[in-house]
Each structure stands twice: as C-alpha cells, then as structure tokens.
C-alpha cells in the first residue's frame, strides 16, 4: 500500500471516530448558486463554507489566504490582486483554462460564459461577504458549464443583516484596507451599503495597486407570499504589476525577489453586476425570477510573453434565471429552471514596440481585433427525494446551449506582411459556433444516526472552448475544438459529536478531450487526465480551546500521449505539473483571558512537478502565522498578526517555461499586521 493510501485510510479512521451525534455545524445552509438551499448535512458531496469569522481573521489581505484553507483548494497568489484557482485540479494556465471553474457572487457568475479571465475572482466583493461557498468536483448540472472541477459562490449579507461597522487593516509591507458597512432594516424595506478600499505599496519594486469595491443591497417584504432582494456591486482596480522571477531557485534570492523584471507591466479593470431576485410562494409552490446585468472591462500589459503586447477586453451581459419549485411531504421536492444570457464582447491585442526577436513573425501593430455576440440558454430539472427517514436521493439533469457569433474587425488571415512564413498571429474569418452539452448528477445521503451521515455522488461536467481559444489563433488552420468532458465518483462521511466536527471524502475524476496547443500552435482536443484523492476536515470547538485540521492527499496524472507544444516526452502515467499531492492546514485558537484570544496557524504545501516531463520539482514549504485578538469593549476589537513567522522563503507558484526556464511567483516575507474593528 502506498504512503498516500495509508495516510488517507488513517485520516478516514479519525473521521469515523469523531463523526457522531449533534447538529450545530451540520445545520449550516449551503446555497447552490441560489438555485437551491440545502443544509450541509443534506449535500451529497464534500462542500465547504468559509464563514465571516474566517474572512475577518487577523492578517487576511488576499483571497488566497481564506480559499486555500478549504481542503482540495489551492488559490496561488500572483502580483497585487492576481490569483489562479485550482479545485481538485492542477493549476491551469492558458487562454481558456479559467473556464474550468464557476466563480460567482450571489448566484450570478462573475464573467459571462466564454469570456473568463484567470484573475476574475478579484471582481467579487469577497472582503464583505457573509460567507463563501466552495463546491468541489463537477457541478455543471446545477450551475452549468465552467463548473468542471468546482465552483465558488460569494454570498454578501442581506440588506436587513448588513452590520454597522468600520474596520481598518495595515501591515508592515505597505498594505492598507478600509472597510465600511451600514444597514437600515424596516418593516417593508431594508437597505444596506458595503464599501472596501485597498492600497498596497508592495515589497517589490515598481509595483502597487489601488482597488475600490462598493455593494448596495435592498430587500422588500410584500405580502406574505412575495419578496424581493436586489444587489449592485461595482469594482475598480489600478495595478502596477510585478511578474515572476527567473532562474533556478531564484525565489530564494531576496534581492531578486524584491526587484521587478517587468516595471512597465500594469492591469486596470472595472466590473459591475446588478440583479433583482423576486420570490413568490403560496402553500407548497415557489417561483423565483432573477433578471441581471453585468459589465466587465480590463486593460493590461501581457508581460508574460517576450514581445509584451497590450490587451483590452470587455463584455456586457443581460440575462435571467427562472425557477419553479414544489415542496412535497416528507422533505421531498421537485424543481425545474430555465436560464438565458446574452453577451456582447470584444478583444483587441496591440504591440507597441518591435519584438526582441523574429520581428517579421511577431509584427508591431494590431494582432487581433474582434467582437463576439454570445447567447447561452439552459434547462434544468431535478428532485430531492426522502426515500426513508434515513435515506435521501438527489437527482439533477441539465442541458446548456451556447452560440458564438464572431466578427473579425481586421484583415482575415496572417497578421504579418505578405510572404512571411511562420507568422505568430492569424485571424479567423467571421463565423458562428454552437455548443450543446448535457450534464447530470445522482447523489445520496444516508443518516446512520442523529448527526452521522454518509454521502456519495456520481456526476459529469464540461467546459466549452472560450472565445480566446477559438478566435485568438496562432495557426493558419482554423481552430476545430469542442468541449472538454469530466466524470466523477465521490464517497464520504460527515458528522458531529459534542464539540467535534468531521467530514471527509474520497473522489475519482476522469477528464477527457482536454484543450491544449499542439506543436503547430493549434488548439486541439486530446489531453486525458485522471484525478483522485482524499479530502478531510476535523475540528473541535470548546470554551477555551478550538482546533481545526484539514487537507488533501491527491494524485493527478496524464492518461495518454497527446501531441502537445513543448512536451516532446511521452506523458502517459506522468503527474500533471503544478499539482501537489499533499496540502494540509492546522489552526489553534486559545482563549487566554475573557477578552483575549491567541491563534496559531500552520500550512503545508507539498512538492510538485514544475514541468510536464516531470524533470523539475518544487520542494514545497511550510508556513506559520500567529495572531492575538483583543476585545477592548463590546464594540471595539484590536487584532495583531505575525505572518510567515520564521520568514520562510517560498514560491506561491513555480513552473517551467520554454522547456528549461525556471519561473517563480515569490511568496511574501515576514510581516506584521494590525487591524481595528468598531461596531456602532
């Protein structure tokens, strides 16, 4: 038996011992992107909720710190507010890799289908969230495509529950954040406003950012059978970007880490989302109708390619979600829903300066300028059936249809001068492309006794090609790619006993027809990968002491030998790069005095391969943080945190470029953080 298997079995044994009787944590409400409300005890997969207490933890300054605490989730921090998401998966890179995850706020996707961006989570107002729901594995049958490996849903507080507070945070590396919120609850109408402003001078040269987020909330209570909730979120970001450092183990050189190879790099972004959610309920029937609108704009320098072009992209969307739900006797329910979204998007890539090499094949000027009108429609139906007092079954079936109407605004074909061979940029002729994909899941939850549950799920998912993969081509041949497909099996156990809570699951996922570039720089289907692992949470909450453990043991491997660009080796059986086998966290909270809490957190990142050929490895790292929370009064808290206590040099992410160039996003140095929070 392998070491990983022994660790997984041992931890599963611990879960079996800890899980039994009680019901506090299991009553946590989980909302599948506002499609359906479930208690945590009723979910057929290993879900995780990041609560407000975690989001307000001392020293939290980036989404990666709170999301990576969820077992099986790795959000690697880039420069400023940038990040790459991985959920039960390796870290994906490339034009459309972000399509593997569904990221949303209040059930509305942050970006439209086909227009994802790897850093899009910074569009959300997660700093002000009531909770963040983390769904692992395929969830396409609930929320549609882009939930191939998992989903994140930020839930902002309802207008009637917005706290009246002001919070200030600053650290010794130049990070500063101000958060304000206030609400007014009334008999019929409730209003709330949340504001977050962030500035970061950064410890790296020629890099900093300023970001502002505003969320407005409204609730209306009509007659006993009709209500509405409305939300508006605005985000603005101005960032001077620091890129990776180059050279073997360069992340260990503090002088190089504090420098910046790309002082001219920048990223500017704006986002807006607005919606109103109407609910009508009479007796055992409920209708929910949610019209919404979205706008995204982004301009940035593509410093990660040597010729450093600029990209400008934007898209505007309108759409709706309509759901009918019938509540039957004994906890059983049935539902169907219909969704529609219309998007108008555009992208332009321009190179201002001559390329440092091959100027004929990489010309100055406009590389791409295109627009896409996209329509997405979906039908979904399902049921939750309480078969017996102990056994519940869950079934969902969905069909998604997406159509792209692409218009090329430049000359069709090569972007290079006539007669130049090997041009890097080709513009497809105007065209339409259609994709239709089914998805389903079947799950069960079995209650062994009060507070002890086993669960399991069969599911499939997909992601369609993103517009950048279809129309931003680098080959004279047209892109001929279709959706990726994934299927999964999951089996787990959860429960509580006294102050103990535990849940864990084993999973197996097979992804087929992965999209990649071949040796002719043409996007193709053909990468098959296998993902299997074990995830766990184990916690104890007492009056004086609280403990939390969590993590994963996983393996991600190639299952075939595709014709990949930059991968001359046979890949079958090799591990997928940037996919650690081990990620574990532990935290302790100790009440030193009635108004003083002491905390300690440790995070372990295991080693992983940096390249597809498994020739180079990042060794992994362990980080430790300390914090103290002092409640000066019933309204005022003062918090301190010492992050990266031992000043460990580490990389947030490591990979290989051009077969042998070691690249690292360096981790943050030791820093002292302090914050004040006042409730009024």
- Rounded-to-integer distance, Cα 373 and Cα 342, Å: 7
pLDDT band of 252, cuts 50, 70, 90: very high
Question: Residue 76 phi/psi, 5° resolution?
Answer: -85, 130
As a whole number of angstroms, the distance between CA 152 and CA 585 comes to 20
Helix (H) or strand (E) holding 290, with range, is strand 285-301
**Residues 66, 60 contacting (CB under 8 angstroms):** yes
Instruction: Count how many residues are written for the chain.
Output: 680
Strands (E), 409-541: 413-414, 426-427, 431-449, 452-463, 484-497, 500-517, 523-541
Burial letters 396-431, b for 16+ CB under 10 A, else e? bbbbbebebebebeeeeebbbeeeeeebbbbbbeee
pLDDT value of position 294: 98
Rounded to the nearest integer, the mean pLDDT of the chain is: 91
β-pair type (452-463, 333-351): unpaired
Q: With DSSP H G I counted as helix, E B as strand and the rest as coil, what are the percentages for the chain, rounded to 5?
A: 10, 55, 35
507 CA to centre of own chain? 19
- Is it the case that residue 564 has pLDDT exceeding 90? no
Least confident of 27-41, 137-151, 203-217: 27-41
pLDDT of amino acid 336:
94
Q: Are 291 and 332 in contact (CB under 8 A)?
A: no
Tokens 């010794």 belong to which residue?
Answer: 172
Domain parsing of the chain, residue ranges: 3-679
pLDDT in tens, 587-626: 999 999 999 999 999 999 999 999 988 999 999 999 999 9
Contact status, residue 483 vs residue 437, Cβ threshold 8 Å: yes
CA distances from 321 to 98, 146, 256 (A): 23, 17, 50
Q: Which residues contact 38 (CB under 8 A, 6 or more apart)?
A: 29, 30, 31, 32
- What does the block give as tokens for 492? 């787990």
The C-alpha atoms of residue 281 and residue 549 are separated, in whole angstroms, by 41
Cβ count near 155 (within 10 Å): 22
- Tens of pLDDT, residue by residue over 301-341, are 999 888 999 999 999 999 999 999 998 887 789 999 999 99
First to last CA, the chain: 58
Mention every residue, 6+ apart, whose C-beta is less than 8 A from residue 28.
39, 40, 49
Can you tell me the distance from the alpha carbon of 468 to that of 37, in angstroms, rounded to the nearest whole number? 35
223 versus 420: the higher-pLDDT residue is: 420
- pLDDT in the model for residue 18: 43
The per-type count for the chain, helices as H runs and strands as E runs, is: 6, 38
Q: Which of helix, strand or coil describes residue 159?
A: helix
Inter-residue contact 505 to 550 (CB < 8 Å): no
Q: In which element (H, E) is residue 54 found?
A: helix 52-55
Look up residue 259 and give its two tokens.
Answer: 């420098």
Considering only residues 72 and 18, tell me which one the structure prediction assigns the higher pLDDT: 72
Given this model, what pLDDT does residue 565 score?
62
Residue 120 has pLDDT above 50, yes or no: yes
Joined tokens for residue 184: 């007014």
DSSP line for 107-147: TEESS-TT---TTGGGGS-GGG-SEEEEEES--HHHH-TT-
Amino acid 475: pLDDT: 82
Residues whose CB falls within 8 Å of the CB of residue 156, separated by 6 or more in sequence, listed in order: 105, 106, 125, 128, 129, 130, 194, 215, 217, 231, 233
In this predicted structure, the answer to whether residue 160 has a pLDDT above a threshold of 90 is yes
The pLDDT score that the predictor gives to residue 23 is 42
Mean pLDDT, residues 456-468 taken together: 95
pLDDT exceeds cutoff 80 at 11: no
Please give the full DSSP string across 557-574, using - where no structure is assigned.
Answer: EE-S----TT--S--TTP
Q: What angle do CA 361, 365, 371 make, to 5 degrees?
A: 105
CB 248 within 8 A of CB 193: no
Where residue 204 falls among pLDDT bands split at 50, 70, 90?
A: very high
pLDDT at residue 2 in the model: 54
Class at the top of the CATH hierarchy for domain 3-679: mainly beta
The lowest-confidence range among 7-16, 73-82, 198-207, 244-253 is 7-16
List phi, psi (to 5°) of 623: -120, 150
The per-residue pLDDT for 21 is 34
What pairing do the DSSP bridges indicate for beta strands 651-657 and 333-351? Answer: unpaired
- pLDDT bracket for residue 35 (50, 70, 90): low
- What's the burial of 294, exposed, middle or buried (CB within 10 Å: 0-12/13-18/19+)? buried
For residue 16, the model assigns a pLDDT of 45
- What are 475's strand-pairing partners? none
DSSP state of 224: T
Which residue bears the tokens 């043991």?
Answer: 553
* Cβ atoms of residues 671 and 171 within 8 Å: yes
> Which residue in the block uniquely carries the two structure tokens 């949470």?
537
As given in the structure block, the two tokens for residue 108 are 């509305």
Instruction: Tell me 17's DSSP state.
Output: H
Q: CB-based contacts of 224: which residues, under 8 Å, 6+ apart?
A: none
């Amino acid at each position: 038996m392998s070491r990983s298997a022994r660790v997984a079995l041992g931890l599963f044994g611990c879960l079996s011992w800890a899980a039994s009787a009680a019901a506090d944590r299991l009553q946590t409400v989980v909302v599948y992107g506002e499609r359906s409300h479930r208690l945590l005890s009723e979910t057929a997969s290993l879900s995780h909720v990041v609560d407000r207490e975690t989001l307000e933890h001392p020293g939290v300054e980036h989404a990666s710190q709170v999301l990576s605490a969820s077992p099986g989730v790795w959000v690697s921090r880039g420069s400023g507010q940038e990040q790459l998401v991985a959920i039960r998966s390796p870290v994906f890179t490339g034009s459309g890799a972000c399509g593997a995850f569904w990221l949303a706020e209040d059930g509305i996707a942050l970006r439209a289908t086909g227009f994802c961006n790897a850093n899009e989570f910074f569009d959300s107002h997660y700093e002000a969230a009531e909770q963040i729901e983390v769904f692992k594995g395929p969830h396409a049958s609930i929320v549609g495509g882009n939930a191939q490996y998992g989903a994140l849903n930020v839930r902002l507080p309802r207008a009637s529950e917005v706290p009246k507070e002001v919070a200030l945070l600053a650290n010794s590396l130049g990070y500063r954040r101000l958060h304000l919120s206030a609400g007014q609850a009334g008999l019929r109408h409730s209003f709330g406003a949340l504001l977050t402003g962030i500035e970061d001078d950064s410890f790296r040269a020629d890099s900093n950012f300023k970001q502002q987020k505003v969320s407005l909330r409204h609730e209306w209570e009509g007659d006993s059978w009709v209500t509405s909730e409305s939300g508006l979120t605005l985000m603005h970001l101005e960032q001077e970007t620091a890129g990776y450092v180059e050279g073997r183990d360069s992340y260990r050189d503090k002088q190089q880490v504090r420098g910046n190879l790309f002082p001219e790099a920048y990223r500017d972004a704006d986002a807006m989302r607005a919606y109103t959610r109407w609910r009508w309920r009479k007796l055992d029937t409920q209708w929910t109708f949610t019209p919404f609108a979205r706008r995204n704009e982004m301009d940035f320098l593509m410093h990660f390619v040597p010729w450093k072009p600029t990209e400008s992209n934007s898209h505007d969307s309108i759409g709706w979600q309509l759901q009918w739900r019938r509540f039957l006797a004994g906890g059983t329910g049935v539902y169907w829903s219909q969704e529609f979204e219309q998007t108008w998007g555009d992208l332009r890539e321009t190179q201002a300066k001559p390329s440092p090499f091959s100027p004929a094949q990489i010309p100055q000027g406009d590389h791409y300028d295109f627009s896409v009108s996209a329509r997405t429609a979906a039908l979904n139906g399902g049921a939750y059936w309480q078969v017996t007092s102990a056994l519940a079954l869950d079934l969902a079936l969905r069909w998604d249809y997406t159509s792209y109407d692409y218009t090329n605004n430049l000359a069709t074909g090569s972007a290079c001068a006539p007669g130049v061979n090997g041009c890097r940029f080709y513009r497809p002729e105007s065209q339409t492309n259609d994709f239709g994909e089914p998805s389903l899941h079947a799950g069960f939850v079995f209650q062994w006794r009060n507070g002890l549950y086993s669960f399991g799920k069969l599911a499939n998912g997909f992601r369609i090609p993103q517009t950048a993969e279809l129309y931003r081509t680098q080959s004279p041949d047209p892109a001929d790619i279709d959706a990726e497909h994934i299927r999964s099996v999951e089996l787990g156990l959860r429960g509580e006993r006294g102050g103990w809570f535990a849940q864990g699951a084993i999973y197996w996922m097979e992804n087929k027809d992965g999209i990649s570039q071949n040796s002719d720089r043409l996007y193709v289907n053909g990468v098959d990968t296998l993902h299997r692992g074990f995830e766990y949470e184990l916690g104890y909450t007492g009056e004086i002491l609280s403990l939390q453990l969590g993590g994963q043991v996983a393996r991600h491997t190639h299952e075939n030998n595709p014709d990949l660009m930059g991968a001359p080796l046979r890949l079958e059986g090799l591990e997928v790069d940037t996919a650690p086998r081990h990620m574990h966290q532990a935290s302790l909270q100790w009440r030193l005095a009635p108004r003083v809490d002491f905390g300690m957190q440790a995070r372990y990142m295991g080693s992983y391969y940096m390249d597809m050929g498994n020739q180079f490895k990042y060794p992994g790292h362990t980080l430790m943080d300390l914090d103290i929370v002092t409640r000066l009064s019933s309204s005022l808290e003062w918090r301190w945190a010492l992050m990266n206590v031992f000043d460990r040099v580490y990389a947030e992410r490591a990979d290989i470029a051009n077969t042998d160039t070691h690249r690292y996003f360096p981790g943050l140095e030791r820093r002292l953080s302090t914050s004040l929070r006042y409730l009024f």
